Structure 1
């Protein structure tokens, strides 16, 4: 049996945390569930991360990094309308292949709202910083047009909400959203 390094275990914890937090949220997910998914003890988990908040922040950062990479890869060498369509198609593909990514985003925003109400600004600061990096990743390929970026991000949030609510791909709420993906049968989750 090959033993994993601490870095490999840390990576396993982040992947497990994204999965667990995407389902149960920050407040509804136990570190015990994350440790169990990875196959480590809670004390070992806390040797890798100082606490639940650190695990959540690492998962949130990973979520934003993956989303930025998806958009950057899709827009590479493109600009304007071509970049917009390519990024939209790539995000539609995420619905089918990585719905946890969308659900993790939603859980991040809910956690920030709850933490802000409790007077704990750290989550909000980190998530807002990630959001701004995501904004810039989309903004530049769209010609740095604020209106196009706002529209793109607004559609993305609508997609996140519809996925989180569990609307099936054939439901009429999807009509008009990324129609090229619907006609290709790619809008499935």
Structure 2
């Protein structure tokens, strides 16, 4: 079996860190748990990334970039309402089928809030930069209308809460949001 390159190992760390950070958050996740999940030693982990913060930031960046790519692919060749429906459906499917993706997003927001409260603005700057790339990706297919973009993102945050709390598709809490018409 061929040895993994450092870049392949970095990728496996990001994948493992996504699972670990999604479950435990930044403060509740140890680099030991990430290294164990990847199958490497902690010292090797720190040859790939300078520290836990760097692992978290790389994982957060991946989470945002995956979401941006998903929205861009869903909106491709569409605009306005058609783009909104396609992006919304793609998002609901993604976070329903990959709940750790949703949990990682939520952990990103919590980590930013905690870091900002402690005076560390690096998390916030990185996550806000990703959020603005996400905004731009959504904004153009929606006709570059700030209100429509804000509404779409606000509904996305509501969807995050509904999925995280386990509301099934068809429940009245989903009314007007997409997975199916309300039946509960």
TM-score tier, shorter chain, comes to: over 0.9
Give the match for residue 140 of structure 2: 140
Give the match for residue 7 of structure 2: 7
- Is 1:97 matched up with 2:105? no
Tell me, which stretches of 5 or more residues in structure 1 are unaligned? 184-189
Deviation (angstroms), 1:23: 1.0
Q: Aligned pair in 2 of structure 1 residues 96, 81: CA closer, same or farther (>3 Å)? A: same
Q: TM-score, normalised by structure 2?
A: 0.94
| Separation (CA, whole Å) in 2 of partners of 1:38 and 1:170 | 38
Deviation (angstroms), 1:2: 2.2
- Is 1:182 matched up with 2:177? no
Give the match for residue 81 of structure 1: 81
Give the match for residue 187 of structure 1: none
Give runs of aligned pairs for residues 63-74 of structure 1, distance below 5 A: 63-74=63-74
| Separation (CA, whole Å) in 2 of partners of 1:127 and 1:77 | 28
Q: CA offsets, 1:18-50, max 9 Å, x none?
A: 111111111111111111110000000000000
Q: CA offsets, 1:26-76, max 9 Å, x none?
A: 111111111111000000000000000000000000000000000000000
Give the match for residue 53 of structure 2: 53
> What do you get for the CA RMSD once the two structures are aligned?
1.2
- Is 1:44 matched up with 2:44? yes
- Is 1:18 matched up with 2:18? yes
Q: CA offsets, 1:136-165, max 9 Å, x none?
A: 000010010011000000011111122223
Q: CA offsets, 1:80-107, max 9 Å, x none?
A: 1111111011111113222211111111
| Separation (CA, whole Å) in 1 of partners of 2:171 and 2:80 | 30
Give the match for residue 106 of structure 1: 106
Deviation (angstroms), 1:170: 5.1
Contact 2:96 2:163 in 1 (8 A): no
Q: Which structure's relative contact order is higher, taking Cα pairs within 8 Å and 6+ residues apart?
A: 1
Contact 2:70 2:90 in 1 (8 A): yes
Deviation (angstroms), 1:182: 2.2
